[in-house]
């Protein structure tokens, strides 16, 4: 028992090292947009942000600066619920404005609303093949709620499928898994508990696969066929099309937004907790969550969107405090010089028991070594030794299951320069 307690103390100490390094990385206010953002997506080489009152915003430089792209949106520049993309099309759903389409990379937009009874309150859109689906809310009783569908070539919206109530007042999105299972979470559905509606037959039939211990579902994030749900009672996980759910952390807290960086067990997860800010944890057994809130001004506020791109975490605050970003680069071994044209990702899964993956992106052919170091800088594992990496993105895997638990550092070295990311090994 004494050894177990000692190990737990050491584990927490080791993990605290990596996150104490993150304390040097502070949140930075992004100049624009000032508006509340509901979701962020990548389309082609740009990032797009869905805002509450000022329409659609775009960024050409990884989210560091933004500009409005509302050409032809007319009055539908408010309450953008989210995006979907497919086959050179970018779709945007609007609460009160229906659906709009862009075929030129988000520069200009056109309405895509024929068939709706009114200017529909759309809570989410998804494209599968040549079919477009929209989750329509029963806002103000204007038209029956449900999932509507149409061809992507011509707007002829019709309510589709059975088993979906006609009185759902609010959806928190519409999503699809890698197997094209449709998932429509409800964030406000009266006395019914934890409603998540699921269709495994392209919307023909819907089943209520509720989370029994959660009253509302505010956010769903899907990686492959893994479903992560942010609820009024923490974060839940399912890998069987929402038939069963497991609480994986932050129980008792209201989780407004959740995103995962990998599929399945031990995925790295970022979560926005109402009034408390941003937390980081994993989908494993340890249940260790760390606050990344730092200087984010979250008092009397909540996070309406989170997104990870290019080793930066983005968070949009609700009460007119705008969009913020924080670098996710953690610790280094010794003094390092930045390698021009080369980028390495944060390892995933993180923490890990067996293997972790590191993505290396380079704009030219390089000869690189990839090594794992302990806290003193000693090499404990040679992953790649002076291997040739052509221009593009590559993934290398570090097998750490034979190493003791603790914090290690994965170093990518090119021509006397190196970049490093931290790896946490748990038993």
Q: Whose structure tokens read 């088993």?
A: 163
pLDDT the model gives residue 343: 84
With a cut of 70, list the residues of the chain below it in pLDDT: 1-25, 74-77, 188-194, 266, 284-288, 328-338, 375-377, 406-407, 427
Predicted local confidence at residue 350, as pLDDT: 77
Selection from 300, 307, 305 nearest residue 316 by Cα: 305
Whole-number pLDDT of residue 34: 79
Return the number of other C-beta atoms located less than 10 Å from residue 114's C-beta.
11
Q: What is the per-residue pLDDT for 31?
A: 86
Least Cα distance to 254 among 275, 240, 224, 227 occurs for 275
At 353-407, the pLDDT tens digits run 889 999 999 999 999 999 998 755 678 899 999 999 999 999 999 999 888 776 6
Spell out the residues 6+ positions from residue 140 whose beta carbon is closer than 8 angstroms to its own.
none
User: What is the pLDDT, as a whole number, of residue 218?
Assistant: 93
Q: Which tokens belong to 325? A: 């970003």
Third-level CATH fold of 22-327: Methylamine Dehydrogenase; Chain H (2.130.10)
- 207 close to 197: Cβ distance less than 8 angstroms: yes
| 3-class SS string, 194-245 | CCEEEECCCCCECEECCCCCCCCEEEEEEECCEEEEEECCEEEEECCCCCCC
Q: Which pTM value belongs to this model?
A: 0.75
Q: 274 and 267 in contact (C-beta within 8 Å)?
A: no
Token reading at 202: 């392209």
Listed by start position, the domains of the chain span 2-7+331-425, 22-327
**Can you give the three-state secondary structure of the chain, one letter per residue?**
CHHHHHHHHHHHHHHHHHHHHHCCCCCEECCCCCCCEEEEEEECCEEEEEECCCCEEEECCCCCCCEECCECCCCCCCCEEEEEEECCEEEEEEECCEEEEECCCCCECEECCCCCCCCCEEEEEEEECCEEEEEECCHHHCCCCEEEEEECCCCCCEECCECCCCCCCEECCCEECCCCCEEEEEEECCCCCCCEEEECCCCCECEECCCCCCCCEEEEEEECCEEEEEECCEEEEECCCCCCCEEEECCCCCEEEEEECCCCCCCEEEEEECCCEEEEEECCCCCCCEECCCCCCCCCCCEEEEEEECCEEEEEECCCCCEEEEECCCCCCCCCCCCCCEEECCCECCCECCEEEEEEEECCCEEEEEEEECCCCCEEEEEEEEEEECCEEEEEEEECCCCCCEEEEEEEEECCEEEEEEEEECC
On the question of a common fold for 2-7+331-425 and 22-327, the answer reads no
Cα within 13 Å of Cα(73), Cβ side: 28
Fold of the domain built from segment(s) 2-7+331-425: Immunoglobulin-like (2.60.40)
Rounded Cα distance, 296 and 293, in Å: 5
Cis peptide before 349 (omega within 30 of 0): yes
Instruction: Give the pLDDT score at 58.
Output: 95
pLDDT in the model for residue 337: 56
Q: What is the pLDDT of residue 20?
A: 44
């Amino acid at each position: 028992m004494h050894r177990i307690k000692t190990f737990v103390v050491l584990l927490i100490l080791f993990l605290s090292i990596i996150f104490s390094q993150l304390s040097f990385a502070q949140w930075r206010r992004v100049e624009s947009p000032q508006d509340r953002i509901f979701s962020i997506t990548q389309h082609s080489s740009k990032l797009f942000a869905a805002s509450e009152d000022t329409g659609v915003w775009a960024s050409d430089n990884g989210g560091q600066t933004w500009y409005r792209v509302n050409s032809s949106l007319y009055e539908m520049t408010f309450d953008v619920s989210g995006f979907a993309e497919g086959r050179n099309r970018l779709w945007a759903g609007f609460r009160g404005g229906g659906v709009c389409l862009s075929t030129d990379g988000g520069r200009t937009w056109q309405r895509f609303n024929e068939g709706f009874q009114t200017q529909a309150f759309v809570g989410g859109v998804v494209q599968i093949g040549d079919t477009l689906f929209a989750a329509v809310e029963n806002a103000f009783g204007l038209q029956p709620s449900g999932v509507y569908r149409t061809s992507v070539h011509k707007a002829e919206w019709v309510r589709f499928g059975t088993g979906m109530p006609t009185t759902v007042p609010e959806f928190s999105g519409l999503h699809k898994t890698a197997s094209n299972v449709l998932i429509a979470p409800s964030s406000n559905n009266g006395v019914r508990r934890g409603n998540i509606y699921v269709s495994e037959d392209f919307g023909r039939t819907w089943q209520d696969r509720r989370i029994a211990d959660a009253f509302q579902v505010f956010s769903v994030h899907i990686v492959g066929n893994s479903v992560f749900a942010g609820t009024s009672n923490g974060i839940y996980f399912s890998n069987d099309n929402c038939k069963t759910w497991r609480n994986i952390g932050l129980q008792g807290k209201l989780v407004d937004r959740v995103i995962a960086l990998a599929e399945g067990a031990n995925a790295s997860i970022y979560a926005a907790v109402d009034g408390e800010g941003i937390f980081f944890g994993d989908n494993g057994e340890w249940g260790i969550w760390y606050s990344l809130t730092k200087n984010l001004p979250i008092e009397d506020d909540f996070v309406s969107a989170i997104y990870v791109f290019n080793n930066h975490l983005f968070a949009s605050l609700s009460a007119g405090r705008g969009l913020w970003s924080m670098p996710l680069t953690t610790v280094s071994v010794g003094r390092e010089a930045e390698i021009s044209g080369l980028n390495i990702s944060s390892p995933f899964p993180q923490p890990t028991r067996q293997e972790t993956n590191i993505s290396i992106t380079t704009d030219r052919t390089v000869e690189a070594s990839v090594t794992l170091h302990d806290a003193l800088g000693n090499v404990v594992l040679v992953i790649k030794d002076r291997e040739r990496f052509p221009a593009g993105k590559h993934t290398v895997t570090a097998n750490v299951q034979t190493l003791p638990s603790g914090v290690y550092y994965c170093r990518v070295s090119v021509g006397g320069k190196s970049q490093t990311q931290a790896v946490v090994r748990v038993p």
